[in-house]
């Protein structure tokens, strides 16, 4: 009986020992970098407990502009100091003399420090190259002059580039095979989200100092530098953004007090996004508190009369109408007296004065012939559907560079059976929703003579050394989205809006470039203090004879007689003209 008890207790002890040993193997060997369902990195957390460290580069890739300059990061020459300097003798006077700073202030900041820090804190003291070299030649323990990577305070095209955030749970949901710590940033909007898989950090670059439980030196005063071993990473994403034009456009949009809305600029030949401005700006600390984080240039909005471009293009392309047919522009789309009568005029004149009756009647005729016509031509012109660059790369069959609302013309098929609904659709109201980027793309399609191309925001993914990993070529989607004749007629119509005697945008005829385009004033269904709010648009291309730029500008939620859109469009066009002149001279 006694032997049985001994065997029993020995067995229990053995089972417990095996369990503890198994648990130890699990913790130390099998799941050291991803322990439990929370994927806790035990090695990383252990290192953090016994080290002081300063991140030099978080390791996430950069977005570059079309000239190869970083859009979202900058490097600063800074002085890094370690707190153990307060316990040892070192030549503080020499460092202060090189930097031309007060020695007592330098020593005071070190006395207060509990962790390694950059001298100057949030507004770091910036060193020149000579100062860096002189300090590093001193070879002082715990004193480093180096380049540190900082996120820029203001990021150009912030909503298009997108935002990042730290969320360990979401990181592991997105990348279950990767093991990283809680501070790993992931993209949550814009290009940051689309290209996140290529942007995430492989390894941080940091200075590390080992300490004991009291914060004292564990292995003396040696500081180690850890950096990514792979010279090809992190990857960089080269965008199509022209930073110079982007910043100037942002200034002009703000100068004209556009609170909600913005402007988007395309290169006509390539379909590249050269600049994209969305307002309101991103609010630091609370980016999602309003529309600040949303890219309104890729968000579907009510277009108003800009949509008449689609109606006119379809009518001409299908030989449904010619310039001998006239319309009663003394009446509204409902047959009542028009507040701004224009007489009996043809489609060309109707387009210039933006007569609603003409395009309501044409829209009804188009739908009677084929109820898919307006949807089809909106997509052919690059206004709706898949607007952005889309294709197969690596394990993505249909990779999209940028999330863009697809837009719509009708909300359901039943609307096409109601003449009143179709009439409102023909003038860009009812359920018509398009993006400013799509509107600019439509103008580029017409400017190219009817060839539809995808809109490109990224030209390539690069290794850290600048060599190409992935190329995103210009995509021609449809050679003859419009017939050459239709494209030519639409170019004339768009030019008449600006240059014609009765055109609605005659103000723009004083611009440095000859502009062709279309106005739009859309009812939004929203109001303030009982007064209706409108989206005001102008979209076009220039120079007329040799198209280079397509531009769409929208001022959202403004009163009927406020928020004029022509001045900002003209100022942007004039800025581009001056920029081209300066480039030609240089």
Task: Give the model confidence (pLDDT) of 373-407 as tens digits.
Answer: 999 999 999 999 999 999 998 888 889 999 999 99
Mind listing the domains of the chain with CATH numbers? Answer: 243-585 (3.40.710.10)
Cis amide linkage into residue 234, ω under 30° from 0: yes
Residue 206 CB partners (closer than 8 Å, separation 6+): 53, 54, 55, 56, 225, 226
Mean pLDDT over residues 493-498, rounded? 98
Q: Tell me the CA end-to-end span of the chain in Å, nearest whole number.
A: 103
> How is residue 266 written in tokens?
């395309």
Q: Do 221 and 254 meet the contact criterion of CB atoms below 8 Å apart?
A: no
Cis amide linkage into residue 413, ω under 30° from 0: no
Q: Do 262 and 554 meet the contact criterion of CB atoms below 8 Å apart?
A: yes
Mean pLDDT over residues 286-311, rounded? 92
In the predicted model, is pLDDT for residue 447 greater than 50? yes
- What's the full length of the chain, in residues? 586
Band of pLDDT at residue 260, cut at 50, 70 and 90: very high
In the predicted model, is pLDDT for residue 36 greater than 60? no
- At 45 the pLDDT is 45
Mean pLDDT over residues 204-226, rounded? 66
Band of pLDDT at residue 135, cut at 50, 70 and 90: very high
- Catalytic residue annotation: 305
In the predicted model, is pLDDT for residue 254 greater than 80? yes
Q: Which helix (H) or strand (E) holds 402?
A: none
For 507-531, how does the pLDDT look when each residue is reduced to its tens digit (9 = 90+)? 999 999 999 999 999 999 898 988 9
- At 24 the pLDDT is 62
- At 13 the pLDDT is 72
Band of pLDDT at residue 219, cut at 50, 70 and 90: very low
- Comparing C-alpha atoms, which of 295, 307, 294, 273 is closest to residue 389? 273
- The SS3 of residue 522 is strand
Q: Do 79 and 118 meet the contact criterion of CB atoms below 8 Å apart?
A: yes
In the predicted model, is pLDDT for residue 427 greater than 50? yes
Q: What is the largest CA-CA distance in the chain?
A: 116
- At 349 the pLDDT is 97
Residue 465 CB partners (closer than 8 Å, separation 6+): 231, 232
In the predicted model, is pLDDT for residue 277 greater than 90? yes
Q: Do 208 and 435 meet the contact criterion of CB atoms below 8 Å apart?
A: no
Q: Look-up: residue for tokens 């540190």?
A: 148
**Across all residues in the chain, what is the average pLDDT?**
89
Angle CA(522)–CA(565)–CA(297) in degrees, nearest 5?
Answer: 70
* Backbone torsion region of residue 558, taken as left when φ is above 0, otherwise alpha when ψ lies between -120 and 50, otherwise beta: beta
């Amino acid at each position: 009986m006694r032997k049985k008890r001994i065997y029993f207790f020995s067995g229990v002890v053995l089972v417990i020992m095996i369990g503890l040993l198994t648990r130890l193997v699990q913790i130390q060997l099998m799941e050291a970098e991803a322990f439990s369902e929370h994927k806790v990195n035990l090695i990383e957390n252990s290192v953090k407990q016994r080290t002081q460290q300063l991140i030099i580069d978080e390791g996430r890739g950069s977005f570059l502009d079309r000239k190869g300059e970083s859009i979202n990061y900058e490097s600063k020459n800074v002085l890094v100091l370690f707190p153990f300097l307060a316990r040892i003798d070192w030549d503080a006077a020499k460092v202060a003399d090189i930097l031309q700073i007060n020695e007592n202030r330098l020593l005071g900041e070190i006395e207060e420090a509990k962790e390694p820090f950059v001298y100057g804190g949030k507004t770091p003291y910036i060193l020149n190259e000579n100062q860096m070299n002189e300090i590093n030649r001193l070879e002082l323990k715990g004193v480093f002059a180096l380049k540190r990577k900082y996120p820029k305070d203001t990021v150009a095209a912030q909503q298009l580039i997108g935002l990042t955030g730290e969320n360990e749970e979401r990181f592991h949901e997105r990348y279950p095979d990767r093991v990283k710590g809680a501070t790993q940033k992931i993209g949550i909007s814009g290009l940051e989200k689309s290209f996140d898989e290529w942007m995430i950090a492989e390894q941080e670059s940091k200075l590390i100092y080992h300490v004991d439980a009291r914060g004292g030196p564990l292995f003396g005063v040696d500081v180690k530098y850890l950096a990514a071993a792979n010279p090809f990473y992190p990857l960089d994403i080269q965008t199509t953004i022209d930073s110079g034009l982007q910043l100037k456009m942002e200034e002009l949009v703000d100068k004209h007090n556009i609170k909600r809305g913005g402007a988007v600029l395309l290169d006509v030949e390539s379909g590249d996004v050269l600049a994209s401005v969305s307002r309101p700006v991103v609010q630091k600390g609370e980016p999602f508190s309003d529309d600040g984080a949303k890219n309104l240039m890729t968000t579907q909005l009510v277009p108003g009369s800009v949509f008449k471009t689609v109606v006119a293009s379809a009518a001409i392309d299908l030989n449904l109408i010619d310039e001998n047919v006239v319309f009663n522009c003394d009446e509204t789309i409902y047959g009542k007296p028009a507040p701004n009568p224009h007489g009996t005029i043809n489609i060309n004149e109707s387009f210039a004065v933006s007569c609603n009756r003409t395009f309501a009647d044409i829209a009804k005729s188009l739908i009677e012939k084929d109820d898919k016509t307006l949807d089809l031509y909106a997509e052919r012109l690059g206004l709706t559907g898949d607007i952005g660059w889309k294709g197969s790369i690596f394990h993505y069959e249909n990779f999209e560079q940028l999330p863009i609302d697809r837009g719509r013309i009708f909300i359901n098929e039943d609307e096409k059976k109601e003449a009143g609904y179709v009439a409102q659709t023909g003038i860009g109201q009812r359920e018509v929703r398009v993006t400013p980027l799509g509107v600019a793309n439509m103008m580029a399609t017409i400017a190219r003579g009817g060839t539809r191309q995808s809109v490109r925001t990224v030209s390539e993914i690069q290794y850290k050394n600048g060599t190409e990993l992935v190329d995103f070529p210009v995509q021609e989607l449809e050679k003859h989205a419009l017939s050459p004749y239709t494209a030519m007629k639409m170019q004339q119509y768009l030019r008449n809006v600006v240059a014609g005697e009765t055109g609605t945008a005659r103000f723009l005829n004083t611009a440095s470039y000859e502009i062709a385009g279309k106005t739009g004033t859309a009812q939004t269904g929203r109001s303030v203090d009982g007064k209706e709010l409108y989206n005001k648009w102008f979209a076009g291309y220039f120079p007329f004879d040799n198209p280079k730029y397509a531009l769409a500008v929208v001022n959202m939620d403004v009163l009927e007689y406020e928020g004029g859109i022509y001045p900002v469009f003209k100022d942007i066009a004039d800025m581009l003209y001056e920029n081209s002149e300066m480039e030609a001279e240089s």
